[in-house]
Each structure stands twice: as structure tokens, then as C-alpha cells.
Amino acid sequence: MKIVVTGGLGFIGSHTVVELQNEGFEVVIIDNLSNSSREVLEGIEAITSIVPIFEEMDLRDKQSVQQFFKKHSDVSAVIHFAASKAVGESVEDPLLYYENNINTLVYVLQELQKKPASQFIFSSSCTVYGQAEKMPITENASIQIAMSPYGNTKQIGEEIITDVVRVSNINAILLRYFNPIGAHPTAHIGELPIGVPQNLVPFITQTGIGMRQELAVYGDDYPTSDGTCVRDYIHVVDLAKAHVAAMKRLLQNKNKEKVETFNVGTGTGSTVLEVINTFEKVSGKKLPYKIVGRREGDITSAYANTDKANEELGWKALSTLEDGLASAWKWEQKIRS
């Protein structure tokens, strides 16, 4: 069974390719290398001894997308990661995000719509909930007005897919990720943030390794246990396995609706200071940090109710925050050695 993984050389994409190969799927990666590199292919092979088919391609080029699906006419299953994902950048350059995150989705769906049956997994985000009223967050929590063009592209993407499955033979699953962290335990693949990391964990590991002076903690005056924000940090390997479970559900026709939504998190919230303390414990390093003002657009708290994914997908996150941080630290040491 051939599965196309767009953005398959990226952080979550590459970990999902490994888990798909572990389950015996043949994988075809599409990536334009805008936020990844060919070395990731070697990392995947080092883990599974299987080299995935790789087609360097930009999904913004409609002709290329059409040619690809003509060449791989036997493909009907797609996991779609390819998208830009930096919240701050999306505010600076909205059209880059609307073109890269929406046009590409439309072109892929146009090809799948031509097929007698197809399966589509969409990389969505808990960001669609904004600051949810109730914790833990369930899939029927209301969708808030997006705080950024990035978040808006995830909401629009979900709406496009919902409209399209209604008039086509596409069956889809929307996976709303919470906060992906960590790296494969072998340290052959992991996160490769370009420039100054926006996200907490890569900034922590780069501070731990001495690349950054100190971590700025964006506010400690939130209504939480220690004043810092709460998030649901999920190990990227657990997140990858959720994609395999979702794809199997569609391939085995076990889905109950043509489009289904699942929160993918651990179900546990951790504050920024708890993450720092846990990092210090797993690394044995004292992490230099200072409390600064709040970051524009940050919400106080978000962690998942994962009952639906546990029951329907038969999937549950197995790794702890400690596992995630330990793997992130091992990866940071490896790539800086």
C-alpha cells in the first residue's frame, strides 16, 4: 500500500514516514526542502533500512501536482503535512501562508477528487480552539476567530476538506495537534528549526547546549499554578503513530463519518516552569532563564481531552514530558557534536 506524505522530510512528517514504514507501508515523500533537507532521508533509512521514494516538488505549482498524481496513479492515500507553520511569520507575510497552506491543499484535493476512493489525513492544530473555555479541550469545543493567518489557514483547511468530502469519494481525518516536542529515540531524525527557534523546547535545548544565552519566559502573571502558560507537550513519535492509526482507520473503512476530527495530545498540561524544571532534571543542566513580558497572541492554557482518539483510533500517547525532553536533548547534542 503506497502512501504519499507531503512535507515528509519535515519534523512531524519524517517521524510519520518512519512509523508508516514500520507498519509495512510503502511511502512516497513530496517535499520542496524549504524547511528540511535531503539528509533527513538518510536519517529515515538509518532507522528503518528502507529508503522512501522522494520527489522534490513544490505543491504551489499546480502542473507539478497534476503530473505527480498521473505518474503515481496507483496512489489514493495522502497524509498532508506540507505547510508553513511559524505563527509570527504568518502575521508578517499572510499571503505567503494563504498561498502555501491553502493553494497546495486545493491542488492535492483536486487530484484525489478524480479517484474512485481516496483517504486524506490533514495536519491541523489545537490553535483552532484559541483560548478554549473548558479544559481539557474536546473536539466539539467552539472554534475561535484565528489569532494569526497561520491559525486561520488551519481553520480554512478544515472547512475546505469538510466541503469537498461531501461531494467526492474522499474520506478524511483532521488531526488537531497540541504541542509536538522531542525526536526519534535513535537521534537519527529530529527537529531542525531554522534560525532562532520560536517554540519553547528547541529554544530550551539550544540554551542548554550553549547556543543561546538564556531563555526568555514570556510572562508569569497568567492565572495558572505558577503564573506561566500551560500546554500539552506530546512526543513527536506518539504524534506520528496517531497518523498511522488514522490512516489504517480510513483504509479499513472504519471511519463513522466522511470527515472526522481528533485531538492529538497527552491529555496532561504542563507550565513553562515545569518544562524548564523537567529539562534540568533530564539534562543535569541548570537552564538560565529570565521572566519577561507576555508574548502577543499567547493563550493561557491548552491541553487535550483525548478520549475520542483513545476510543476511536485505539491510540494513546505513551511517552511522558520527561521522555520528550530527554529525546530533544539527545538530538540537540547529536546535531551540535
Instruction: In whole angstroms, give the CA distance from residue 291 to residue 12.
Output: 30
For ligand WQD, which is the closer residue by CB, 185 or 193?
Answer: 193
Q: In this structure, how many other beta carbons lie within 10 angstroms of the beta carbon of residue 58? A: 15
Single out the segment in contact with ligand WQD by CB under 6 A; choices: 25-33, 72-80, 193-201, 259-267.
Answer: 193-201
Q: Which of residues 33-92 bind ligand WQD (CB under 6 A)?
A: 85, 87
Contacts of 192 (CB under 8 A, 6+ apart): 11, 36, 37, 40, 335
For ligand WQD, which is the closer residue by CB, 148 or 319?
Answer: 148
For 274-287, give the DSSP string. Answer: HHHHHHHHHH-PPP
* 137 binds ligand WQD per the rule CB under 6 A: no
For ligand WQD, which is the closer residue by CB, 72 or 197?
Answer: 197
For ligand WQD, which is the closer residue by CB, 30 or 126?
Answer: 126
Q: Which of residues 202-241 bind ligand WQD (CB under 6 A)?
A: 203, 215-218, 229, 231
CA distances from 334 to 37, 51, 189, 223, 233 (A): 17, 22, 10, 37, 22
Out of 162, 186, 199, 255, point to the residue binding ligand WQD (CB under 6 A). 199
Least Å distance, CB 79 to ligand WQD, is: 15
Instruction: In whole angstroms, give the CA distance from residue 273 to residue 268.
Output: 15
Q: Which of residues 146-175 bind ligand WQD (CB under 6 A)?
A: none
* 127 binds ligand WQD per the rule CB under 6 A: yes
For ligand WQD, which is the closer residue by CB, 75 or 237?
Answer: 237
Q: Which residue is nearest to ligand WQD (CB)?
A: 229
Q: Which three cell numbers stand for residue 64?
A: 507539478
Element (DSSP H or E) covering residue 27? strand 26-31
For ligand WQD, which is the closer residue by CB, 101 or 119?
Answer: 101
Build a one-symbol-per-residue string for 263-282: x at contacts with ligand WQD by CB under 6 A, - elsewhere: ---------x----------
Out of 36, 179, 263, 270, point to the residue binding ligand WQD (CB under 6 A). 179
**What is the SS3 assignment for 222?**
coil
* 144 binds ligand WQD per the rule CB under 6 A: no
For 123-145, give the DSSP string. Answer: EEEGGGG-S-SSSSBPTTSPPPP
Question: 317, 235, 319, 222: which is closest to 272 by C-alpha?
Answer: 222
Kindly state the DSSP code that residue 337 receives in the 8-state scheme.
Answer: -
Kindly state the DSSP code that residue 103 receives in the 8-state scheme.
Answer: I
Q: Which residues are identified as catalytic?
A: 150
Peptide bond into 136 cis (omega under 30): yes
User: Which residues of this chain interact with ligand WQD, rule CB under 6 A?
Assistant: 85, 87, 125, 127, 177, 179, 198-200, 203, 215-218, 229, 231, 272, 295, 298
